[in-house]
């Protein structure tokens, strides 16, 4: 199996080179976007306590009921476009977007930024990181 891999690499250097370039570009893009406008659990706690930040949980209702950050609003990612108006009243406050693992919240954060929410952040690591840090969750 390894011999076939080495043979493929030797026979198709341009294809392998192109693949490596695309892979490197994708990794660089993901690293850059994961750091951009993301806050850690401790930074999110400070924003909530000091600046009355609004937490928007983009998970589905069942996941939200299983455990969420106190005071969080549940607006599933699939409905964010329809329910954006609910956040107009808090446009001047920091908004922390939370998902399960921190990967999907970037999409919602980008939509909020495009809609004029200048202080939209995503929670790095999402609810998984929040719970791993031992921070409290509310269950309904």
Active-site annotation, residues: 99
Q: What residue ranges in 1-140 does DSSP mark as E strands?
A: 38-39, 54-57, 73-74, 95-98, 120-123
**Cα separations in angstroms, 87 against 56, 59, 74:** 9, 17, 12
């Amino acid at each position: 199996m390894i011999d076939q891999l080495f043979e493929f690499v030797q026979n198709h250097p341009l294809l392998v080179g192109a693949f490596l370039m695309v892979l490197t570009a994708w990794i660089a893009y993901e690293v850059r976007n994961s750091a951009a406008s993301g806050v850690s659990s401790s930074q999110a706690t400070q924003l909530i306590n000091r600046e009355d930040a609004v937490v928007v949980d983009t998970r589905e209702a069942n996941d939200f009921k299983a455990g969420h950050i106190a005071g969080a609003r549940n607006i599933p990612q699939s409905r964010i476009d329809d329910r954006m108006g609910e956040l107009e009243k808090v446009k001047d406050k920091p908004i922390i977007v939370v998902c399960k693992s921190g990967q999907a919240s970037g999409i919602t954060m980008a939509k909020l930024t495009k809609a004029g929410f200048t202080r939209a952040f995503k929670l790095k690591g999402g609810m998984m990181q929040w719970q791993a840090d031992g921070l409290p969750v509310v269950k309904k």
